[in-house]
Chain A
Amino acid sequence: MRRARPTLLIVLALGVSLLISSCNRPSQEITLQGSGATFPAPLYRRWFIEYYAAHPDVRVNYSPIGSGAGIRQFTAGLTTFGASDAGMSQKEIDKLPKEYGGVRLLPMTAGEIALSYNLPLAAPIHLSRSTYVKIFLRAITDWNDPEIAKDNPGVELPTQKITVVTRADSSGTTFAFTTHMAAVAKAMHLEWPPGVDKSVPWRESIAAQGNDGVAALIQLTPGAIGYVEYGYARLAHLRMAALENASHEFILPDETGEGGQRALEGAEIPADLQIRISDPTNSGAYPIVTYTWLLCRKHYDDQREERTIEAILLDCLTDPKQEVARQLGYVKLPPNVVDRLRAELTQTVATR
Chain B
Amino acid sequence: MSAMDSTRVERVEAEGIARPPTSREIAVDRCFRWATRILAGFSALLVALIVLLIAKQAIPAIRKFGFDFVTSTRWDAGKSQFGILPELFGTILSSAIGVALATVFGVAVAVFLTQQFIPRWLENLLHNVITLLAAIPSVVYGLWGIFVVIPAIRPACNWMHAHLGWIPIFGTPLVSVGMTPAGIVLAIMILPTITAVSRDAIAAVDPLMREAAFGMGATRWETILGVTLPASKRGIYGSIVLGLGRALGETMALAMLIGSTNVISPSVFSPGDTLAALLANKFPEAATPVDLGALMYAALVLLILTLLVNVAGELVLRRDVTRLRREEAVHKPPKNETVA
Contact = CB atoms under 8 A, between A and B. Distances in A.
Interface centre among A161, A201, A207 (most CB of B within 10 A): A207
B55 to A, nearest CB: 24
Given A69-B284, A169-B285, A204-B261, A223 B175 contact: yes
B248 interface: no
A68 B287 CA distance: 7
A208 B260 contact: yes
A224 interface: yes
A201 B271 contact: no
A114 to B, nearest CB: 19
Nearest to A169: B281
A18 interface: no
B175 A221 contact: yes
Interface in B11-56: 13, 17-19, 21-22, 25, 28-29, 32, 35
Contacts of A163: 175-176
Interface in A1-50: 1-4, 7-10, 12
A163 B262 CA distance: 14
B175 A66 contact: no
A67 interface: yes
Interface stretch (B73-81, B95-103, B221-229): B73-81
Nearest to A92: B287
Interface string B283-324: 011110000000000000000000000000000000000000
Contact of B284 (A1, A169, A201): A169
B165 interface: no
B150 interface: yes
Given A4-B19, A9-B28, A206 B176 contact: yes
B259 A1 contact: no
A220 B153 CA distance: 13
Interface string A160-199: 0101000011110000000000000000000000010111
A224 B281 contact: no
A10 B34 CA distance: 12
Interface string B143-184: 000110011000000000000000000000101110000000
A7 B32 contact: yes
Given A209-B255, A224-B176, A169 B282 contact: yes
Contacts of A170: 77, 282, 284-286
A59 interface: no
Contacts of A208: 177, 256, 260
Given A7-B29, A66-B284, A206-B271, A201 B175 contact: no
A221 to B, nearest CB: 4
A217 interface: yes
Contact of A4 (B21, B74, B75, B271): B21
A17 B155 CA distance: 55
A334 interface: no
A230 to B, nearest CB: 22
B20 to A, nearest CB: 10
Interface residues of B, number: 41
B281 A7 contact: no
By size class, the interface of chain A is: 35 or more
B213 interface: no
B4 to A, nearest CB: 18
A8 B76 CA distance: 57
B260 A207 contact: yes
B255 to A, nearest CB: 7
Nearest to B24: A7
A68 B256 contact: no
A168 B287 contact: no
A199 B285 contact: yes
A10 B22 CA distance: 19
A298 B284 CA distance: 27
B231 interface: no
A38 to B, nearest CB: 11
B263 A204 contact: yes
B83 to A, nearest CB: 11
Nearest to B74: A201
Contacts of A7: 25, 28-29, 32
A216 B259 CA distance: 12
B76 A200 contact: yes
A3 B17 contact: yes
A160 B224 CA distance: 50
A68 B25 contact: no
Interface centre among B13, B151, B287 (most CB of A within 10 A): B287
A197 B177 contact: no
A124 interface: no
Contact of B285 (A10, A66, A217): A66
A161 B174 CA distance: 11
Contacts of A200: 76, 78
B284 A220 contact: no
A41 to B, nearest CB: 14
B57 to A, nearest CB: 16
Contacts of B285: 66-69, 169-171, 198-199
5 contacts: A3-B17, A168-B281, A199-B77, A217-B146, A220-B147
Given A2-B13, A201-B74, 5 more contacts: A12-B35, A65-B284, A207-B259, A220-B177, A221-B176
The 4 closest A-B pairs by CB, nearest first: A68-B285, A170-B285, A221-B176, A168-B260
